[in-house]
Structure 1
């Protein structure tokens, strides 16, 4: 994800390749759109697994019906994600020849494993969808396990590439040539593990709060049956754990930035000068070289960013202007992510505290409204986190090795590709909304078994759901 105006921090103007601007805009659009779908591939299978397990092992017909409906929705999202993911795979080489040309051997293995994971996920999603009434119930339930694992592995592979861009490993540069390539180093670097953990937990927050919000909206409209309460509770429980774990994961990941990307940390903290100890700055913008509209909390910056009462956050004055990221964009995005994450963690604590005290938050309309809002807020936090990560790495596409301007091509026709991609994503979004709303209306009307657009219907017309009866 990128921005157009980071060059303002570069000092003397140098002509950029004609393909740089459209490439940046297209990657921002594609990654920002696709990452939401990727979250559903990572997190939702586990939630479907829990609902289906309740149906099979506890005889809970409501949970089994939820699993069936969620699987059909996930198939729609998976189909759309397949299109956007395919677009991204072509974009890497088309938009960034200066990256994929020299470093293709370094990055080939993670991308290959991601492709294999995609096929495994697609195969077992198909088996699960068509397995209702055809596969014995316990074996049918197991189809979700490789599906969930494949989504996690595929996402790990992609995130490992991004982590490599932030902390490159697995090669040497000799006279401008990439030599001594170690592809496995990209997959198993410490940066990849920590960055994936952050993304993995974020996916459960996005999916958990979004799905729970759908059922909270239904309860606001008076649908307070067990179907809606269970549909809220299962994803909300996942989101709760994720929201409470995420601050710790983010803190551990953030501690590395002081050593690996000091310019990014300075932008996060709006540290124009090195101070010991450093304050925590809430809000604020850098205007004409001066920090304004900020609240300083003494010492807390050193404690949070460096795990120390005295260690300073390296200031921007120590970094060459040509190597500084867009400070305001990076800082605002980072604080947006942290602020929303803190708010969501506090909200789930309040929810479960009220439940512990014997009160039912779902009986309160304001609590339901807050639950509906939590889904979009989690998405905003996710996008803000990626903006902070990617914009904060600028002006480097591979930190300290390859500048973004040097990775882009010189094709001005990429603007046409950007327009085509924006049109495609708009049509996909409209199509997804139309299909999902149609499915929801028919379910509310009492159609329990909607025809699947992906294959033939089960031949059996009935069956006991607890024993894997037909859909």
Structure 2
């Protein structure tokens, strides 16, 4: 196998692993917060339905954590196996955030175990809720530290390069690089948003399947409300991300926006196709790119004409940007309408067609996470460490990466199908109606 093939298969395998892992990682970051909110609301309102919501979500969460651990371990292995030259160069720097990410996970896992095994052990439910705080903090900080590694790859600093080696290394300066604030904030907040909409989709699906139980209605109301808050927050942070790109990675912003020539009063290009370098059938929003980049409708935005051809990212990232933004805006609208509809008692928010839209919102949010991640990674091409090391210089020359790709793809297929089967059986065999009756019988009173 030629080195080009090794690079190609290494990229495909890394993309496959990250694309699969990001689903479970996103749920792993967002669901603990959702469990905590549900339990807190249940305690505050003395409402057993919300307490039960937290209990059932926690059971399902354990399965996603288990799969996330396997795929996260695979990423760690593949960093060393597939990108040895990168690890040799940058390993001393990224070792700290990688270690801190592992520490955050252990912190989360320990308290998650205690939390799960102490249901009904506390007379005061608030004490049990306190156990969930380190779980949510640990989950979120796992995302923070691993995203710092990615931010460093986009904006490397905290070292000097002498004769191809990194010297004068400052891991903390490297961690707190210019890309870190917007990247970390965007990853964490979109994880919260996506988890809320995935759980909302499950609640809407149960209502569509004929279960008109108040439990599912409360679940839908809570998750859509939380989803609205975090989808608006995601949009605001997305605006900050655009300003970061304009300042530090203008080639990525220009490629994502098909902004070929440096000019002021730049329009935002949505959709369209490229025909011999000419943009056709696109929606152009006047001045919007200048506003996104510099908060000034007449500001000059750097175009692709300012960069060497071999440093321009693939232009198909434009479509990734379009998909991410379209879904994000749609989810703001969907959840906003739902909240208004409940407040103003609009009938359509409880209609079948609107609940179908909410069900579709779950997988759509996952797609937005995937396209956003691909945009971040592909938009950095051709660099693995921006401005310092190219992807082809970082990859292994091992001729058997294609076999590894097949084996790992098989593993992810088994894990994906297995987790879906386990989760569906777990909740089918223990429907909420039955669980409410059982708990009613246990308590010997009416919990409704």
Matched, 1:139 2:139: no
Query: Secondary structure at the residue paired with 2:272?
Result: strand
Deviates more, 1:129-138 or 1:46-55: 129-138
Deviations 1:409-434 (A, max 9, x none): 10120111111110000000111111
Aligned match of 1:110: 97
Deviations 1:236-280 (A, max 9, x none): 221110111211111012101122111111111101222222122
TM-score (norm 2): 0.94
Work out which of the residue numbers 350, 354, 368 in structure 1 matches 2:341.
354
Describe how 1:162-173 pairs up with structure 2 within 5 A: 162-173=150-161
Matched, 1:310 2:306: no
Once the two structures are TM-superposed, the CA of residue 57 in structure 1 deviates from its matched residue by: 4.1
Aligned match of 1:452: none
Once the two structures are TM-superposed, the CA of residue 73 in structure 1 deviates from its matched residue by: 0.2
Deviations 1:80-131 (A, max 9, x none): 1111111111111111111111111110000000011111111111111111
Matched, 1:401 2:388: yes
Aligned match of 2:260: 272
Q: Distance in 2 between matches of 1:271 and 1:49?
A: 44
Aligned match of 1:367: 354
Q: Distance in 2 between matches of 1:269 and 1:215?
A: 37
Unaligned runs of 5+ in 1: 1-14, 450-460
Q: Distance in 2 between matches of 1:295 and 1:70?
A: 41
Describe how 1:248-397 pairs up with structure 2 within 5 A: 248-327=236-315, 329-397=316-384
8 A contact 1:18–1:411 mirrored in 2: no
Query: Would the alpha carbon gap of residues 231 and 355 (structure 1) be closer, same or farther in structure 2, given more than 3 Å must change?
Result: closer
Work out which of the residue numbers 218, 229, 237 in structure 2 matches 1:230.
218
Aligned match of 1:421: 408
8 A contact 2:224–2:338 mirrored in 1: no
Q: Distance in 2 between matches of 1:292 and 1:410?
A: 41
Q: Distance in 2 between matches of 1:88 and 1:54?
A: 37
Query: Would the alpha carbon gap of residues 447 and 466 (structure 1) be closer, same or farther in structure 2, given more than 3 Å must change?
Result: closer
Q: Distance in 2 between matches of 1:18 and 1:367?
A: 47
Unaligned runs of 5+ in 2: none
Once the two structures are TM-superposed, the CA of residue 135 in structure 1 deviates from its matched residue by: 4.3
Matched, 1:71 2:58: yes
Q: Distance in 2 between matches of 1:465 and 1:300?
A: 60
Once the two structures are TM-superposed, the CA of residue 27 in structure 1 deviates from its matched residue by: 1.0
Query: Would the alpha carbon gap of residues 466 and 144 (structure 1) be closer, same or farther in structure 2, given more than 3 Å must change?
Result: farther
Aligned match of 1:176: 164
Aligned match of 1:214: 202
8 A contact 2:33–2:192 mirrored in 1: no
Deviations 1:326-372 (A, max 9, x none): 11x21110111111111111222222222232224442111101110
Query: Secondary structure at the residue paired with 2:301?
Result: coil
Deviations 1:136-174 (A, max 9, x none): 533221110000000111110000111111111111111
Once the two structures are TM-superposed, the CA of residue 305 in structure 1 deviates from its matched residue by: 2.4
Query: Secondary structure at the residue paired with 2:263?
Result: coil
Q: Which runs of 4+ in 1 moved over 6 A?
A: 464-467
Q: Distance in 2 between matches of 1:297 and 1:53?
A: 43
8 A contact 1:17–1:408 mirrored in 2: no
Matched, 1:91 2:78: yes
Work out which of the residue numbers 23, 33, 39 in structure 2 matches 1:46.
33
Query: Would the alpha carbon gap of residues 466 and 51 (structure 1) be closer, same or farther in structure 2, given more than 3 Å must change?
Result: farther
8 A contact 2:148–2:180 mirrored in 1: yes
8 A contact 1:273–1:316 mirrored in 2: yes
Work out which of the residue numbers 247, 259, 269 in structure 1 matches 2:235.
247
Once the two structures are TM-superposed, the CA of residue 16 in structure 1 deviates from its matched residue by: 4.4
